[in-house]
Structure 1
Amino acid sequence: MEEKDELDDILDEVDAQDDAEAKRLEDLEETEQELDDLENKEEDLDDILDEIESKPEAVIEKVYVVAESPKSVEETVVKKSKPKRSDKHSKSKHKKSKNKRNALIALFVLIVVCGGVFTVWKLKFSGQALDAFKYVQVDFEGVDTKGTATLEVDLDAIKNPEQKEIYESLTYSLSPQEGLENGNRIKLIAEKSESTDKLLKTHKYRLENLEKEIVVKDLYDSEQFNLFEQFSFNFEGMDGSGTVTYDMYLDVDESYLQTIVEGTTLSFSKDKNLVNGEEITVKATFNKEAMAAMNQHKVKISEEQTTVKVEGLSDVYASIDDIKEYKELQNLAFNKIKADYAKHPDTYTNFKLEYACYAADTQNNVNAVDYFDKHAYSKGSLMFIYSFDRIRGNDVAHFADNYGYTNMVLSDGKLDRDAMLLMSPYQDGASIEKVLNELQANNFKCEAQ
């Protein structure tokens, strides 16, 4: 929209110049017409004078004489002679006046014509004016007395392809560009290339000014330094029992900034038992060397305190030792296996816990489907291997089976019981070793009980 308005302004300016030139020509024609009329009137005046001169020498005029008596008025005819006009004097004077008038007319016409020619030359040959700096943006940054200036040319904003060619041929610079303070005056310079003049002539444009003065402003009283950009935060552990640490980058060039970063100590409002999603406050403190560097070099820490969001903590227990609900889950599994085997026609007795196995990242390689609901292992799986005796008549046999839970995910640091699933892969006459090997093949770590 702004480009359209600018184009309309340019067209309006050209139209105004054309109208002004047309008005000048019209005024010139009117002036010439007035001069012609004046010349015709002069000729008419000459004719009248000639006619008067051709009349008789004597002209009869009536003169009224008032007698002594107020009631008596006498009409007397008096013959009065008409003064003669010197033909030589009249003609000479008329000729000089006419010559003077013609000279003035010629001078006026010359001035008007020269003005018109100059206007036409300016429009047609000198070209339309372009602001060399119209699309240049100059910015100032840094601390007062040590500021820097940068420039950017927005060529994408130029919609006219001919103008864009001209601007692309220019090279811009700032002088000076560093060590600036608020109120300084610097020069923005546009330098023409070999092709600039050719493009201006071809497209009928002109550049009026190639140098512009700019006042430095917006520099900080002190250097702003974002301290926390120099540190990274690491969250480790499980959701609900996570911890936080930090690392230092030292990604700065100036030695005094390195002194500030190295002399910084960060502390946390909470650094353990962290839960995914919670925010903790980080505060910076500085040693004497860091404080001295800030004062000497006018460095201002933009923020000495910030907040960070806890994320990336594991949503399952890392190991069997981390399971807070271990004892409870063991009892649930023990009761479940006894209840299920009680439904068999044979008698099952002497249940004993042999191994407890856990996998945070479970694999489904061998016998990895629940016998009852047919779901596979998920992350966070706790399994118990039990041995027991089967009594069938007078026959007593010794077997093993495994019961437990999978998908033991954490929510807000606590076990999500609604997400937890019972797990019992099918076993038929299995030994303890067989069940143990299957679980280990599925990435479980088992501990004898």
Structure 2
Amino acid sequence: MKKFCLFLGTVLSVFLLSGCGQGNIEMLDFVDVNFRGLDTRGTASYSVDYERLHNYLIENDKELEFESQNVYYDDQQLEEMLGISLDKSSDLSNGDSVTLTLDIDSSKVKNLVGGDKEFVVEGLDEAKKLTTEELEKHLVVNFNGVSGLGSATIDNTLPGELGYLGFTLVDDGKFKNGDLAKIEITEDLENRLADNGYLLDDDFDPSFEVKGLDEVAEKATDIANLDDIKRMIDEEVNRSYKDWNPEASYGSRYEIKEEGLFYRQFVRDSNDSQFSFNSATNNGNLVKILNVKRYYGGTENKLNTEFTAIIGFSDLFLDEENKVNVADLITIKDTKDSTYSVESVVQLYEGYGYNRVEE
């Protein structure tokens, strides 16, 4: 087998030399461990001094004996042969010990010597602490939506670079009035704080009281003035399907059969689109499902069309007396043509989260 000496630069090239000296090379002398970051969250990394290794080889007329016949070895390939590892590389504190190990791959290179070397962690920066009081002071949290599905908007007024940090709350989107919303402590948040020289205080636990969310009844029968809303639905039905000149042949007459009253506390999700484009899809919905037949006017009593109508209101928000302000209601109107049976429409709405109101 031919013997090659190693030339180390941007690319490590192996040249066939004559008269090269023999002897093992202690590679631990050419690998160093570096520490950076904050005390208690420091990190360790190693570096190989290829330039010094190259100079050493030249000055001492050393050669490396490779089993492979390849003539080019770059830095990464050489590192793989060295088998470099650290027993700890993160969450380090000043004064800790870190062991560097070189497990030389002797099947690829014969005269490199590895081993273990211990390093003491030093030079990590002392961190500032972000406290509960400071964060509660500098985060302005507002809660929006309905109780049970409330979400938060957060404005950050922390000084300097910390003002660009984004904070989130645990269970955002599921808040109800009276909850204590907690900051979600993620690895990304801790890393970004550390990048700015901060760690969380040991007893860091900020919380924000959830309040101001609209209240929606769990069941329709929990609404104190339910009868008023039912009456308003009936009035809307009468306005929508009122006979028009029923005695004349050009007129129309309606026959209406109620199929039931249905209530849904919460919208299922943002993609819930069972209503037409101009209808509400909000929370606290009460609708009546009706079978509607429209007849031509005159004496023939001939059926013109048949369909299913859905009429009601959304945004049935409760006050402290569990009453709904009927002046704030949003009208719901939808229809399904004769290709839908009434039974199918009822099943659809039950699938959308509606429950029949037992009267």
Greater share of helix residues, 1 or 2? 1
Whose radius of gyration is greater, 1 or 2?
A: 1
Q: Do the two structures share a fold, i.e. TM-score over 0.5?
A: no
- TM-score, reference length from structure 2: 0.38
- TM-score, reference length from structure 1: 0.32
